[in-house]
Structure 1
Amino acid sequence: MPIDRPVVISYVDDDKETVLKKRTFVTSLQAAGILTVNRTRLSSSSKMSWSSSASRSSSPATHSYRLYFYAEVDLLNGKERSMTNEELIEELEKLVDKEEKIEEVLYYTNPLNGWQLYKGAVKPCSWLASWKGSVHHAYIVFETKSWWWSIEKNDAGIIIQRSKQIEFVRDMHVRVRRKENRATGIGCEKSKTATNKTVKQLIEHIHEKGYVNEMYHALEKNCQEFADKIYEFL
């Protein structure tokens, strides 16, 4: 349910790690259509005010050049880490079973707002294309022997989630319900059996390609482009 009153989030006296966590949380609320941003230029003593809306803000978000890993996203107090590309391999190797094999890969999409008539990766016909059917969020869900995972890119960074239940990574983004509407919702566009890749190989691939260091761009370096590359690799 959208928040029906202004909310002020202060960064005063926050350290860098706390600021990044707050921004990631707020970005997840934006993606779910719960908040939009009224943003002023930030300084060390600045505040941000937020108002409710059903669509995402047009204001640019601050890209953190970090990967956020939610090791137990189905738990309110589950393990969470954020890391740079340089820290990626060392940090994730402490948290995951590196040799765990990826068994199945699924490519999911969901709409960005409440008025899209469709959001599929394939446009059904030319006259519907004007309704922005290709405008959608895309992300990858994959299964290993012990876990369900999701990996995606947004305007804050790269997010990896892990849970014992698929619902917490497929239907939720950092414990907030993914955006849906009456016409369309969360859908699996395609799936495949993984090509004998391990979690370690995925981590190394992300590191070697430098995806964490890539700036988010709405038309080029966006969630769909990232999901396409990860799906192809796996």
Structure 2
Amino acid sequence: MSFSSSFGSVGSYYNQKLYFDHRADQEYTGGYWITDDQLREKLSNLIDTEEKIENASVYSNPLSSLQATNALLYHAFIVMKTNNWWWSIEKNSECITIQRAKNLESVRDKYQRTKRTTGLTPLTQIRENETTEGGNTTIRELINYIWRGDCLKDVYHILMENCQIFANLIFARINSPRNDQVYFDEAADQPPSSANSYYMNVDQVFNEVQRLSASENFTKLEIYKAPISSHYIPVPLEAENISSILKKISGYFSHHYFVIFETNEGTYWSFERFPTSFTIQRARNKQILLKECQRELRDTLLLQVNLEKSDVAKRQNMKAVLDFTWKEFEPEISYVPARNCDTTALQIYDKFKMNSFAAQKSWTNYFQ
């Protein structure tokens, strides 16, 4: 790897693509160039994305063969071990590269089938710097994480978006999965099961939603307004007893907004945002989603849940809502104040409602 190719200053030649060599230890038959839009689907067709990462390491090598040390100037990359393969993943001023092989040397010691740069002394050999267990992270979850973080679109920069920052980002995700817990209930109108775990990370939610909504297309969407129950408002521990009654009362004068989608399969999805998490629920009985949240009755003693807006929905599914929410919209899991729930609901509503002209054209085509 040349100095210029691995340490470009502002990413002038960065192509915003991922290069994937699926058998880096065999005779070269051509790799795959993958765009951000193709990332999840195309890689899923090429590999077993459910493979779990057993361990991962941060490696480094010098940028130039003339270096006597790589203490300051070095290229960083990740090497991962799964049950069947060795993998490497890295970013430079051209692209992000993923390599896969049956032997470690093909991905650790080579970059795109060329021997990695080493320097003048033993201090500038390819060096393993840090290692962690995989923490049950799957390849699919890692791909989703790269996609959600816009890693392909973030142009390489010598200071802000370089190989070391990217390697540290990937390593941190494997070493300590982000605390991005979502409450997800795929059958909110059915009796609870002891086997159900309602809180899961974003990657798991993506997988479950993709499985459940593959054949479901939206037909209608609505925004509802409900009272904010006191247990949705974070209260400092030391002030809990003093302010709980005041919070309860003030809750009746504040409102919580959430979206409900109806699908062509007779199912309903609710999507709502709370101070510390997102809640996604699915049911065949819409009334359950209006009356309950996280299997508790909504606090409607004084104020009822009211329909605010209703419209024809674009023919998409809940997976598209997740794509928009966790990438284009880029929300923070924790937010203050709680009224941000209305911003989330309105942006989702505006994104997935079908305008009147499009709706008319859609129904005209439907009946032709």
Please tell me whether residue 167 in structure 1 is matched to residue 118 in structure 2. no
Alpha-carbon RMSD = 2.1
Letter in 2 for 1:228: N
Please state how far the C-alpha of 1:195 moved relative to its aligned partner.
1.3
1:96 and 2:34 matched: no
Matches of 1:158 and 1:85 in 2, distance apart? 11
Q: 1:187-222 CA distances to partner (integer Å, 9 max, x unpaired)? A: 001111111100000011011111000000011200
Q: State the 4+ residue runs in structure 1 displaced beyond 6 angstroms.
A: 55-60
* CA distance, structure 1, for counterparts of residue 119 and residue 12 of structure 2: 24
CA contact (8 A) 1:73 1:161 kept: yes
8 A Cα contact 2:59 2:76, kept in partner:
yes
SS in 2 for 1:212: coil
Deviations, residues 156-187 of structure 1 (Å, cap 9, x unaligned) = 11000000010000000011000002211100
Number of equivalences? 172
1:29-44 maps to which residues of 2 (within 5 A)? 31-32=1-2
Matched-pair contact (CA < 8 Å) for 2:8–2:158: no
Query: Which runs of structure 2 are paired with 1:19-58 in the superposition (5 Å)?
Result: 31-32=1-2
CA contact (8 A) 2:9 2:157 kept: no
1:177 correspondence with 2:154? no
SS at match of 2:56: strand
User: Which structure's relative contact order is higher, taking Cα pairs within 8 Å and 6+ residues apart?
Assistant: 1
TM-score (structure 2 length as normaliser): 0.44
**Contact map agreement 2:9 2:158 (CA 8 A) in 1:** no
Cα 1:229–1:57, aligned 2, differ >3 Å: closer, same or farther? closer
Give TM-score scaled by structure 1 length. Answer: 0.69
Task: Check if 1:220 corresponds to 2:154.
Answer: no
Instruction: Give runs of aligned pairs for residues 83-232 of structure 1, distance below 5 A.
Output: 83-119=34-70, 133-183=71-121, 184-232=124-172
| 3-state SS, counterpart of residue 216 of structure 1 | coil
Which runs of 5 or more residues in structure 1 are unaligned?
1-30, 38-54, 120-132
Query: Unpaired runs of 5+ in structure 2?
Result: 175-368
Q: Give the greater-gyration-radius structure (CA).
A: 2
**Residues 27-59 of structure 1: per-residue CA shift (max 9 Å, x gap):** xxxx156xx79xxxxxxxxxxxxxxxxx98989
* Cα distance in 1, alignment partners of residues 20 and 131 from structure 2: 23
* Alpha-carbon distance change, 83 to 173 in structure 1, aligned in 2, over 3 angstroms: same
